[in-house]
């Protein structure tokens, strides 16, 4: 209750409570695990990474395991602690033990998958994640978690695989469509990315970030006028978004809409003090001005000067 009520500020108060419980009843395993959790929270959310907190968590979890050798949660938490201490092999042993005790313990499976990807063993990670589906054959939640892990680690082919599995079971999942679109975008598959973004926006039109992403993929696919429409919708909510103003100005130029391009470049200059963006806008404005002069018919005075 202390942790839920006060958040991180309540950690030290909670620790005192847990340690008091342990002093009164040394066989009460949940108190050891909760106290270890508090130390792990202190380590995770403090700027100063005090290894003493990890060592204390390790001692508490080892004590919990001595009292209950079938506590999958204690083995899982000790695996996290060991990974943070740099004890990778021992951490792997603990997380595998947690999965052995409780094969459907999703947290342990996600931790092991993260470990495999952190050591760049993509083949083993892929095999492990896909074999885990046998344990959760029709549950979209684990599939989404696995997809998210692969996405965060930049393994987009596997992220696509799991997001598609989710969408086979949950049709109305706009955020998953968004992530599927992002995965396809990273894989340079513009057509598939566009389809995913559009499905997501069809379910949730106010998903504004998808407008920017869709505009980018439409640009990659050469569908410039449609991309302009998406960027304009994005700017309704974020009128000073520098990247969007930049992209829109370029697209206006490419589609021959020079007056609109000038306006977009001017808005970009107003929206940022970033030297690179400002200089780019000035170069384009200068180019558009001289392009307009070349296209404009010469006046009588200009014609006479040429003759002279």
Average pLDDT estimate for 158-177? 97
What gap in Å lies between CA 252 and CA 258, rounded to an integer?
6
**Cβ(215)–Cβ(231) under 8 Å?**
yes
Query: pLDDT: is 228 or 292 the higher one?
Result: 228
The pLDDT assigned to 234 comes to 97
Tens digit of pLDDT for each residue in 235-247? 999 999 999 999 9
Q: Tell which residue, 237, 232, 220, has the closest CA to residue 257.
A: 232
Average pLDDT estimate for 172-176? 97
Retrieve residue 169's tokens.
Answer: 């079971």
What gap in Å lies between CA 220 and CA 215, rounded to an integer?
9
Tens digit of pLDDT for each residue in 185-216? 999 999 999 999 999 999 999 999 999 999 99
Average pLDDT estimate for 262-284? 95
Residues 6+ apart with CB under 8 A from 75: 65, 94, 95, 97, 98, 101, 108
- The predicted model scores a pTM of 0.83
130, burial (CB in 10 Å: exposed 0-12, middle 13-18, buried 19+) = middle
Q: What percent of the chain has pLDDT over 70?
A: 92
**pLDDT category, 10, cuts 50, 70, 90?**
confident
**Cβ(208)–Cβ(231) under 8 Å?**
no
């Amino acid at each position: 209750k202390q942790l839920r009520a006060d958040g991180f500020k309540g950690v030290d108060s909670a620790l005192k409570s847990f340690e008091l419980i342990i002093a009164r009843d040394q066989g009460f395993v949940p108190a050891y695990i909760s106290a270890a959790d508090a130390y792990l929270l202190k380590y995770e959310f403090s700027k100063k990474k005090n290894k003493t907190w990890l060592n204390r968590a390790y001692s508490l979890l080892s004590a919990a395991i001595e009292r209950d050798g079938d506590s999958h949660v204690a083995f899982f938490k000790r695996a996290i602690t060991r990974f943070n201490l740099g004890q990778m092999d021992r951490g792997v042993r603990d997380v595998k033990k947690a999965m052995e005790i409780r094969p459907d313990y999703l947290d342990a499976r996600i931790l092991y998958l993260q470990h495999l990807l952190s050591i760049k063993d993509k083949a083993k990670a892929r095999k492990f994640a896909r074999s885990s589906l046998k344990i959760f054959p029709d549950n979209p939640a684990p599939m989404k978690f696995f997809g998210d892990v692969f996405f965060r680690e930049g393994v987009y082919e596997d992220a696509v695989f799991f997001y598609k599995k989710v969408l086979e079971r949950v049709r109305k999942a706009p955020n998953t469509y968004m992530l599927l679109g992002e995965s396809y975008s990273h894989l340079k598959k513009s057509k598939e990315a566009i389809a995913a973004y559009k499905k997501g926006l069809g379910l949730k039109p106010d998903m504004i970030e998808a407008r920017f992403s869709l505009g980018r993929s439409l640009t990659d696919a050469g569908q410039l006028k449609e991309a302009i429409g998406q960027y304009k919708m994005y700017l309704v909510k974020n009128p000073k978004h520098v990247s969007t103003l930049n992209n829109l100005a370029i697209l206006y130029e490419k589609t021959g809409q020079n007056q609109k391009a000038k306006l977009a470049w001017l808005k970009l200059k107003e929206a940022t003090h970033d030297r690179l963006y400002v200089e780019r806008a000035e170069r384009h404005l200068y180019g558009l001005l001289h392009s307009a002069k070349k296209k404009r018919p010469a006046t009588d005075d200009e014609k006479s000067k040429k003759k002279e």
